[in-house]
Structure 1
Amino acid sequence: MRAYKNEAKAEKTLSAKGVDFFIAKIYAVRTVHGKTEKKRCLVPAIPGIVFVHASHTELIQFKKTHNFLQFVTTRNSGMTDYLIVPEKQMNDFIKVAGKYEEKVTYFSPDEIQLEKGTRVRIHGGVFDGVEGTLLKIKGKRSRRIVVAIDNVSAVAISEVTPDLIEVLG
């Protein structure tokens, strides 16, 4: 769902209602209240995007009282559909994006070409079981594993040792 400049409000409200959700975050240095003091804090990595795990009926009921969240839609064969992320893809994305202390890089869909890589699975380490695409990213020396959510975002794991990678068919 989209929560334009309302990620904190969405997080607070969804938590209070007991709705399962995920907001990808990264550490960033921010100026607090216009002062010269800078502080390291967690901020949304994909501005305005909140991943919500609920049925369509539950979301409609929620939106009746909380209209700051909007559905993200895609165009498919001339029709408008709600963006639904498959369970495995979302779990892999959360496993990678939820590691705030790990070095991960976020990309928008137009910054990366996912069709060109080799599908791989990681065995062992903090990213055990994650499936992604092994790619060479422009401007980076090494290859990285990218976990993508179609039409939303992609996140690249900075370094994975080759012995942990299994090539998928």
Structure 2
Amino acid sequence: MQNKEIPVTDEWYAMRVTYNRAMVAKAVLDGMQVRNFVPMRYNVRVVNQKKVKELVPAISNLIFVYSNVHELKELKRKMEYLQYIVNSRTKEKIVVPQDQMKRFMEVQEVDNENILWFSPHEINFSKGMNVRVVDGPFKGYEGTLVKVKGARDRRVVVAIEGVIAVAMASIDKSFLQPVGV
């Protein structure tokens, strides 16, 4: 029997938390100084007949944790509500490449109020075109230009396969360049 070495480098793991405890998990991880990311969006609700804008998790139960396999195993032991998201075909834990995660987090920072969040199955990527944004606040980003629910025009979508997709704010077509043509 061959003993397979498990790398101990930190990576971004896509995780689920049970019972809408993403913000609880974030607070615990922040307290333990473990890097994490919860995609957020603005929600407007009425409180005492006044509209209140609040920041809430974009996808309930989703958190990304930056850690290594050994530390994550210990975290899961302490936080039983933290669960791996696995690829439905390969049954492997979903690990997000560093550069992809960086771009994904930056999209939210650039324009949080005009972006739309989706589960991957909500978007038909086969009808889209791969593009690069060449000007404006999203300059340098690459994604798929597709029609998304809740928007009049097509949007550039950045996705983490099998986990989540984010549609950027409306981008002028002159700022887009086809990729891989």
Shorter-chain TM range is 0.7 to 0.9
1:116 aligns with 2:127: yes
Bigger shift: 126-135 or 158-167? 158-167
Q: Aligned ranges for residues 85-164 of structure 1 at < 5 Å?
A: 85-99=96-110, 101-137=112-148, 140-164=151-175
The one-character-per-residue Cα deviations of 1:99-120 (angstroms, maximum 9, x if unpaired) are 4544011122221111332111
- Following the alignment from structure 2 to structure 1, what is the Cα–Cα distance between the partners of residues 87 and 52? 37
Unaligned segments of structure 1, at least 5 residues: none
Contact 1:121 1:132 in 2 (8 A): yes
Q: TM-score, normalised by structure 1?
A: 0.85
Contact 1:137 1:143 in 2 (8 A): yes
Letter in 2 for 1:42: L
- Following the alignment from structure 2 to structure 1, what is the Cα–Cα distance between the partners of residues 125 and 101? 17
1:2 aligns with 2:13: no
**CA RMSD between the two structures:** 2.1
- Following the alignment from structure 2 to structure 1, what is the Cα–Cα distance between the partners of residues 52 and 87? 37
The one-character-per-residue Cα deviations of 1:40-79 (angstroms, maximum 9, x if unpaired) are 2110001100011211112112122222211111222xx4
Bigger shift: 85-94 or 54-63? 85-94
Letter in 2 for 1:122: V
1:40–1:129 Cα change, 3 Å: same
Q: Percent identity?
A: 37
Q: CA deviation at 1:39?
A: 2.7
Q: TM-score, normalised by structure 2?
A: 0.80
Letter in 1 for 2:168: I
1:138–1:13 Cα change, 3 Å: closer
What SS does the aligned partner of 2:138 have?
coil
Residue 85 of structure 2 is matched in structure 1 by 72
Residue 29 of structure 1 is matched in structure 2 by 44
1:20 aligns with 2:31: no
The runs of at least 4 consecutive aligned structure 1 residues that moved more than 3 Å come to 35-38, 98-102, 138-141
1:10–1:165 Cα change, 3 Å: same
- Following the alignment from structure 1 to structure 2, what is the Cα–Cα distance between the partners of residues 46 and 118? 25
Q: Count how many residue pairs are aligned between Structure 1 and Structure 2.
A: 165
